């Protein structure tokens, strides 16, 4: 069953950049199935949500040519169907395999039933069940609101009174860029641009409240993929030190516990196993220097906050007549120092 799909996309940010679009594709899902790529969670109190795939009527893409023509079709949608009326109960369905910083999101939502509440929305830049932003609609209250949850406490909601019909699909739009947040409902920017520094990145989740039965479909997230710190360190080193010819960082990952290239100025090297000097650099906390043709090659360790070696950095520079190993290490040391100031743990390198 294919629930999540990726595709490349040109994103329009403040400048044109290359990014990706995440499409949650449930077109092949069977009714009753639990949505893939998600994790059910609960903010507040009460019973956990009950999330499943259901079939629902969706307007056809084209206008019917005759009055007898079909104007809607049944398609799979994601539904929260539990009706626990606990007041401070907020079921979440977290898209759990990716964290997003700057992104643009659109989703179709529909409130279907609920005696206490009829709400549907999106939690975003979610850290955990006690820290996130929310943008939601309410059909009983006829409101479109944004608010923040910080350490489990909800701040004052922001947003207007507006007619929110139940059993009608509405489109929610969110754009996050740095600390700026823009929102729309059905194409209208009803809330002025917001600024908040609490959360710079986080996960995205479908959100409901209390006994709301709510449906969700067509979730799309356009974003610039996050760059692991190791790749950032290599890229910045090559830019800041123009005399470098190549840089590689060797470490381990949960998926590949043997020492290997996790970042390189030549992307084709990523994944290749470490050689003798890189292994001894980490195991013995030792620096190595030498020559390879007309290049000076230095391999030095990176350390965690406790001073233990967690990676080896191989730096290649153009050699010159009279180049000594000590001189090569001296040339490479500023590069390593700059990297070391950004690294506290092995996990930092791959996040």
Q: The tokens of 61 are what?
A: 């893409």
Segment 236-256 mean pLDDT: 95
For the chain, percent of residues with pLDDT exceeding 90: 78
Query: Out of 207-216, 218-227, 305-314, which region has the weakest mean confidence (pLDDT)?
Result: 218-227
**Residue 25 DSSP symbol:** -
Residue 13 pLDDT level (bands cut at 50, 70, 90) = very low
pLDDT (0 to 100) of residue 236: 94
Domains and CATH numbers, the chain: 4-223 (2.60.120.560), 229-350 (3.30.450.40)
pLDDT (0 to 100) of residue 97: 78
Residues 6 or more apart in contact with residue 6 via CB below 8 angstroms: 20, 21, 22, 23
pLDDT (0 to 100) of residue 87: 95
Whether residue 12 is predicted with pLDDT greater than 90 in this model: the reply is: no
Residue 10 pLDDT level (bands cut at 50, 70, 90) = very low
pLDDT, tens only, 122-171: 999 999 999 999 999 999 999 999 999 999 999 999 999 999 999 999 99
Segment 254-276 mean pLDDT: 95
pLDDT (0 to 100) of residue 227: 81
Q: The tokens of 43 are what?
A: 């903010």
Count other C-beta atoms under 10 Å from residue 312's C-beta.
27
Quickly list H helices, the chain: 229-240, 276-284, 325-340, 346-350
pLDDT (0 to 100) of residue 335: 97
List residues bridging with 273 in a β-sheet: 260
The angle that helices 229-240 and 325-340 make with each other, rounded to 10 degrees, is: 130
Radius of gyration from C-alpha coordinates of the chain: 26
Residue 27 pLDDT level (bands cut at 50, 70, 90) = confident
List residues bridging with 114 in a β-sheet: none
Count other C-beta atoms under 10 Å from residue 124's C-beta.
24
Q: Which residue has 């489109």 as its token pair?
A: 171
């Amino acid at each position: 069953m294919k629930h999540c799909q990726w595709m490349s996309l040109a994103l329009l940010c403040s400048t044109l950049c290359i990014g990706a679009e995440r499409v949650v594709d449930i077109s092949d899902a069977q009714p009753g199935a639990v949505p893939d790529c998600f994790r059910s969670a609960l903010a507040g109190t009460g019973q956990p949500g009950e999330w499943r795939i259901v079939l629902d009527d969706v307007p056809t893409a084209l206008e019917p040519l005759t009055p007898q023509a079909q104007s809607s079709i049944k398609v799979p949608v994601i539904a929260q169907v539990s009706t626990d009326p606990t007041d401070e109960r907020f079921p979440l369905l977290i898209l759990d395999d990716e964290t997003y910083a700057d992104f643009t999101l659109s989703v179709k939502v529909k409130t279907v039933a609920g005696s206490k509440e009829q709400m549907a929305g999106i939690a975003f830049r979610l850290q955990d069940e006690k820290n996130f932003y929310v943008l939601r609609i309410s059909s009983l209250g006829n409101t479109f609101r944004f608010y923040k949850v910080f350490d489990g406490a909800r701040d004052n909601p922001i947003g207007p009174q507006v007619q929110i019909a139940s059993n009608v699909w509405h489109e929610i739009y969110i754009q996050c860029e740095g600390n700026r947040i823009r929102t729309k409902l059905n194409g209208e920017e009803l809330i002025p641009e917001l600024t908040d520094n609490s959360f710079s990145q986080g996960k995205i989740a479908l959100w409901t409240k209390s006994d709301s039965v709510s449906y969700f479909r067509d979730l799309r997230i356009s974003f610039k993929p996050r760059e692991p710190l190791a790749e950032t360190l290599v890229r910045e080193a090559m830019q800041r030190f123009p005399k470098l010819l190549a840089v590689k960082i060797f470490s381990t990952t949960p998926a590949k516990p043997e020492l290997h290239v996790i970042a390189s100025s030549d992307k084709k090297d990523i994944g290749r196993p470490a050689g003798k000097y890189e292994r001894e650099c980490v195991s013995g906390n030792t620096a190595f220097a030498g020559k390879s043709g007309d290049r000076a090659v230095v391999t030095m360790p990176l350390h965690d906050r406790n001073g233990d070696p967690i990676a080896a950095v191989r730096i290649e520079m153009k050699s010159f007549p009279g180049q000594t190993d000590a001189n090569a290490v001296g040339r490479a040391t500023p590069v390593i120092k700059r990297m070391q100031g950004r690294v506290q743990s092995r996990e930092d390198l791959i996040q």
